[in-house]
Copies of this chain bind each other. A is one copy, B any other.
Amino acid sequence: MKAEIIAVGSELLTPDRLDTNSLYITGRLNRLGIAVERKTVVADEHQQLRDAFKESLSRADLVIATGGLGPTEDDLTREAISDTLGRKLALNHDVLRVIEARFRRLGRPMAERNARQAMVPEGASVLENSRGTAPGLWIETDGRVVILLPGPPHELQGIFVEQVESRLARLAGGVRLHARELRTVGVPESDLDERIAPIYKRYGDVQTTILAGLGEIQIHLRTWSKDAQAAELMLDEIVKQIALKLGESIFTVSGQSLEEIVAAELTKNRATIATAESCTGGLLAERLTRIPGSSSYFPGGVVCYSNELKTAWADVPVALIEARGAVSPEVAQALATGIRLRTGATIGMGITGIAGPGGGTPEKPVGLVYIALADAGGFKEHTGRFPADRERIRWFASQTALDMVRRYFLRTAQPQPSRSGGVQG
């Protein structure tokens, strides 16, 4: 089955707004083995809408249009599809009653124009909207299906899950998506692809996509089958082979975030972590606390931008800063050790570096960041050289710090002294 998506809305043709609904719809369609072959963004304009419908219907088995179902005169999607298909548009009293009841429940008067949302083309079935007033519509025509959905994402997604998915599954005939999402830190993209391409190229039935994100690379494996067991076995086999090539660079095979993985390791090992950050300005603490329940492993951290506060809050010796400079491996280590002792945490993390754009020197250029992890037995230290802008330097540094914590727990089933001081990277 081939699908096209039409996003309706003049605001989607400005520099400020993107159609993101199509990502959600594509994801759900792909799960049913339905590929999206074209996406179109078109204005709220009658003739243009008609043209877009006509063209898509000439090519695709399934056309999903989003937006333009609201109560105002700008909302023309219902009218356009009726005209395109030569169907009459008539007031549906059942739908009108549902809309009226919704307004009563909210204790608000229903403006007359809302009745427009109860207009239904001949022969269409109504897809009830439990989260808003505009219902979706399902229209069959010459063996093709047109689905209209409202633009607000939570309404669209509600209707899709509650009303659309099971109907489409019947049309799609029992094929289902099986997938894995591996994520890695620390291997460059070209290197990664070279190592794993010989593996995934052997599996013609599996679609492999490699996505380079900020400081991590995702490997998406997807296959469609009616035989769930065989598909899952095949995916397990590929993941196993990829794991042999990429080893512990892989931090998840099920699409979890690095923050989630680090949180799980800290929790499992009953460890706590404290942070002393300079150039990342609190980003590491912020990321550690994105996870619900993070108070169980994160007592706190300091952002010590000034040298005085590095001393006051993490006991970095004044003489050390004078001798080595605030941006130095020694100060990173002192920050990590100091905050660990101050808080009694299992692990202390220290970060100091030059986020730029100013402040770089030939010896210590913008993008140079020292990151240290201290435990009861010693410390590890990593030197990052990130050729990027301020925002990304800070992100890469926090990403590296989280990854150091993750790798730490790969070595220590339970928190133990690591005794591995010295520069790694």
Bound-state Cα–Cα, A293 to B26, Å? 43
Instruction: Given the known inter-chain contacts A40-B39, A299-B306, please indicate yes or no for A286 contacting B286, CB distance below 8 A.
Output: yes
| Contact yes or no, B293 A358, CB < 8 A | yes
Assess whether A13 is interfacial by the CB under 8 Å rule. Answer: yes
Report whether A302 and B299 are in contact in the complex, using a CB–CB cutoff of 8 Å: no
| A209-B303 CB under 8 A given contacts A281-B288, A281-B294 | no
- A276-301 vs B, CB cutoff 8 Å, 1 = contact: the mask equals 01001111111011101111001111
- Taking the complex as formed, is A305 at the interface, i.e. its CB lies under 8 A from any CB of chain B? yes
Known: A303-B282, A313-B313. A26 touches B13 (CB 8 A): yes
Top 8 A-B pairs ranked by shortest CB distance? A281-B289, A282-B282, A282-B285, A15-B27, A300-B309, A39-B41, A282-B286, A299-B306
For the complex formed by this chain, how many copies does it contain in all? 2
Q: Does A1 contact B (CB under 8 A)?
A: no
A38 within 8 A of B: yes
A20 within 8 A of B: yes
B residues within 8 A CB of A290?
A: 281, 390-391
Closest Cβ of chain B to A301, distance in Å, is 5
A236 in contact (CB, < 8 A): no
User: Cβ of B292 and Cβ of A281 under 8 Å apart?
Assistant: no
| Complex CA distance for A38 and B356, rounded to whole angstroms | 40
Is A325 an interface residue when CB atoms closer than 8 A count as contact?
no
Mask: chain A, 42-53; 1 = CB below 8 Å from B; 0 = not: 110000100110
Closest to A281 in B: B289
Q: What residues of chain B lie closer than 8 Å to A15, measured between beta carbons?
A: 23-24, 26-27, 30
Contact for A295 among B23, B51, B305, B390, CB less than 8 A? B305
